[in-house]
Amino acid sequence: MNRFVALAFNLEPDIWGTVLGMVLMTVALVAVPFVDRGDLEPTNWAEALDLRKRGWAFLAMSMFWVIMIVGVLTNAITPKG
């Protein structure tokens, strides 16, 4: 995320992108147990993938993975320096 933030927002030093990425990913992971509205642990796949009860938890995990993928791809694609 450091190069993404440096390119998108012109923030220097680019360490702020790393800090921002770590904070957003940590918030997403910490939020999952709080937004999961399931009363008990799921006993089958239908309960585990129920979007009505676990939709916000899926959204939080999606946010985590989008930030991870954007950071990795930006670092792989953009030129160094």
E strands, 9-77, in order = none
Q: Where are the domains of the chain?
A: 25-81
The DSSP secondary structure of 32-60, one letter per residue, reads HHHH---SS--SSHHHHT-HHHHHHHHHH
pTM of the predicted model as reported, rounded to 2 decimal places: 0.79
Secondary structure element (H or E) that encloses residue 15, with its range: helix 15-35
In tens, the pLDDT along 9-28 reads 887 777 888 888 899 999 99
In this structure, what are the phi and psi dihedrals at residue 10, rounded to the nearest 5 degrees? 55, 40
Name the more confident of 39 and 28: 28
Q: How far apart are CA 30 and CA 1, in angstroms?
A: 20
Residue 7 confidence (pLDDT): 79
